[in-house]
Structure 1
Amino acid sequence: MNASTLSASHCGVVHFGDLDCEAVVLTTGERGYVRKQVAKLLGVHENNTGHRFRQILADFSPKSLSELDKFESPISLPSGRRAQFFPAGVITQIASGVIDAALDHTLHRARRKLVPNCMKIMRSLATTGEVALIDEATGYQHHRAPDALQELISKLLRQSCASWERRFHPDYYRALYRLFNSRYQGHEQNPPHVIGQITLRWVYGPVLPEDLLGEIRNRKGISQKHHQWLSEQGLAHLESQIHAVTAIARSSMSYADFKRRCESAFAGTPLQLGLLAEELAEVA
């Protein structure tokens, strides 16, 4: 793709908590950001060569480098200004990778300063997908075609219940049990009812619209779990939210503190079917 021939039809500012990043939609419909602002968003103090930023991409999202090279030439913004384009989708991979490395205690000490910004990014994206955030900021949402519930169901749900596989890592339960001064003993342990309530409210709730959760409840049997009905795309949304909730739980001082943080990060306007369907269509 020759980015020198491309221009942005819509432009705006996406808010990741108290962090801002200039977002654009190309005339081709592709969403993304002004590249130098992405480095600033992540907390990377960049030099003129962009070496530090590319190294982070290589470590946490290596496949994105080839995608980035497609947009090596500047694009034209509506204001007439020219800037380098950074495609949507990569920010999530980087932020998730940084947080995972921090939880696994494998994050290099020099990069620990990236964690706070990455947490803010993941909390924002757990509530609203990247494409929806960009469309809202740029006004492009008014140009999208409407999407039906059935189309969304076909993308996020399976036709039949899958066999059970572990989707919630022991670290998730350890972090939550700690909030109640209890110790997680393993998957054979029957978790308290409050753990199930937390999972429904703060893991499933922010990433699946109520209409979709209702569809799962109608389909699943008594012994089946919600995640057994999710497609690969649905599971990807779920896993990202599990990481975000685990990180909040591990850094919370008490259950009350955890609840306040979740309410601040995830509560608000319910996830809209149309926005989620549009996001999935973009990454398909």
Structure 2
Amino acid sequence: MAGQRKGGKNRAASLSPSERKSIGSLGAQARWAKADPSRVSLSRAVCGSLESPLCIGEIQIPCYVLEDEIRVLTATGMSDGLGLARGGSMIAGMNRLELFVSRDRINPFISKELYERIRSPIVFLTPTGAKAYGYDAQILVDLCEAVLAARQAGVLQQQQMGIAQRCEILTRGLARLGIIGLVDEATGYQYIRARNALEKILDEWLTKELQPWRKQFPDQYYKRIFELNEWDYDPESLSRPGVIGIWTNDIIYDRLGPGLREQLHEYAGRNASGRLKHQLHRYLTSRHGIPELQNHLSAVMALLNAATHWNQFKEMLQRALPKPETTLSMAFDDLEQIKPKSKK
């Protein structure tokens, strides 16, 4: 053992300060993030700062967007946002979130996948070059749901009820599929995303060859638009007000990516009466375009189902899924509502 210690000291003495710093950094990364020690590079955040946190009510959580487009919330910010106590009884090698989800009253409501993700924070560099630890933003939603399920089951201790109350505040302020938009708003990444997106979208999402028709829009999409506008809805009828097509351009295609709708309209062409010859989604590729459309539709459906009236939906849509290169203060297009006649 003495020989090993002596060898280690001799090796350390032979290293330059930068080499010792690099080795120390890798060691800390492996301990904190359970990462592979051979990983020598860290993802860098392209947007975000401590001065531009994600704000939900009075809760503020620093957030960043990484170069691979992962939206992260800082580990400390999430712990503080949930109201987890600092210091106190800690276990060596565990961060506060990991310790919290390992508790007997919470752990049964935490999935194995969520537990492993909490045990392995993302190690990244902020735009200023500082090393930081964080989590995929979606984890916050999953964790809040688990805590609220534990509260519903009546198993939380009294000191944990405050954490559950914060989870309720966070859950009310977040839509599961809207958190990406909120993080992008806080970091300013929506503008970078818009500038870089068009070329990639045109290459990967679109095809000039007309694809076979397959139903992409669920009936519930149209049903909720009718309900939020207090229109009579007939599930057997395919007749819809013309304004719904205009709204769909705004709700769906304008928000999928910059310039996407214009290119789709060019591919689809128009007949003598000025109507599109084909549905726009028939020019989306099955590998990239259709999955992106379905992901966006899922987010829109969550907002449609959460809204209680049309104006509320418009506000939620612009906040959670803003159009590229617009600000959140720019509301959903103020289009004239053409109401069908009510049934007598």
TM-aligned CA distance change 1:218 to 1:15, over 3 Å: farther
Between Structure 1 and Structure 2, which shows a larger proportion of helix residues?
A: 1
TM-aligned CA distance change 1:85 to 1:226, over 3 Å: same
Find the structure with the greater CA-based Rg.
2
**Counterpart residue type for residue 213 of structure 1:** R
How well do the aligned residues superpose, as a CA RMSD in angstroms? Answer: 5.0
Tell me the equivalent position of 1:219.
Answer: 267
Tell me the equivalent position of 2:283.
Answer: 229
Percent of pairs identical after alignment?
15
Tell me the equivalent position of 1:256.
Answer: 311
Cα shift readout 1:104-134 (whole Å, capped 9, x = no counterpart): xxx9994993642332x634635x886x976
Q: Distance in 1 between matches of 2:42 and 2:296?
A: 34
Query: Which residue, 241, 249, 252 being the options, matches 2:296?
Result: 241
Cα shift readout 1:243-269 (whole Å, capped 9, x = no counterpart): 333333334343334334434544566
Matches within 5 A, 1:163-178: 163-178=212-227
Cα offset, 1:151, TM superposition? 3.7
TM-aligned CA distance change 1:81 to 1:56, over 3 Å: farther
Q: Distance in 2 between matches of 1:28 and 1:203?
A: 24
TM-aligned CA distance change 1:58 to 1:250, over 3 Å: same
Cα shift readout 1:20-66 (whole Å, capped 9, x = no counterpart): 4434577999774423545777x69785524289877738xx4x776
Paired residues of 1:7 and 1:26 also in contact (CA < 8 A): no
Partner SS state of residue 217, structure 1: helix
Tell me the equivalent position of 2:240.
Answer: 191
Unaligned runs of 5+ in 2: 1-34, 85-95, 153-163, 270-275, 327-344
TM-aligned CA distance change 1:249 to 1:85, over 3 Å: closer
Paired residues of 1:7 and 1:27 also in contact (CA < 8 A): no
Paired residues of 1:8 and 1:75 also in contact (CA < 8 A): yes
Tell me the equivalent position of 1:49.
Answer: 99
Matches within 5 A, 1:120-131: 122-123=177-178, 125-126=180-181
**Counterpart residue type for residue 228 of structure 1:** R
Q: Distance in 2 between matches of 1:187 and 1:164?
A: 20
- Are 2:173 and 1:117 equivalent residues in the alignment? yes
Tell me the equivalent position of 1:282.
Answer: none
**Counterpart residue type for residue 217 of structure 1:** H
Matches within 5 A, 1:147-158: 149-158=198-207
Partner SS state of residue 313, structure 2: helix
Paired residues of 2:55 and 2:61 also in contact (CA < 8 A): no
- Are 2:111 and 1:58 equivalent residues in the alignment? yes
Paired residues of 1:124 and 1:266 also in contact (CA < 8 A): no
Tell me the equivalent position of 1:281.
Answer: none
TM-aligned CA distance change 1:72 to 1:171, over 3 Å: same
Cα offset, 1:194, TM superposition? 2.5
Partner SS state of residue 288, structure 2: helix
Q: Distance in 2 between matches of 1:165 and 1:191?
A: 19
Cα offset, 1:219, TM superposition? 0.5
Tell me the equivalent position of 1:208.
Answer: 257
Paired residues of 1:158 and 1:230 also in contact (CA < 8 A): yes
Paired residues of 1:249 and 1:258 also in contact (CA < 8 A): yes
Q: Distance in 1 between matches of 2:79 and 2:214?
A: 37
TM-aligned CA distance change 1:2 to 1:32, over 3 Å: farther
Q: Distance in 1 between matches of 2:77 and 2:151?
A: 23
**Counterpart residue type for residue 173 of structure 2:** N
Paired residues of 1:176 and 1:249 also in contact (CA < 8 A): yes
TM-aligned CA distance change 1:67 to 1:48, over 3 Å: closer
Tell me the equivalent position of 1:104.
Answer: none
TM normalised by structure 2 equals 0.52
Q: Distance in 1 between matches of 2:151 and 2:253?
A: 33
Q: Distance in 2 between matches of 1:48 and 1:66?
A: 9
Cα offset, 1:167, TM superposition? 1.8
Tell me the equivalent position of 2:230.
Answer: 181
Cα offset, 1:212, TM superposition? 2.0
TM normalised by structure 1 equals 0.60
Number of residue pairs aligned between Structure 1 and Structure 2:
248
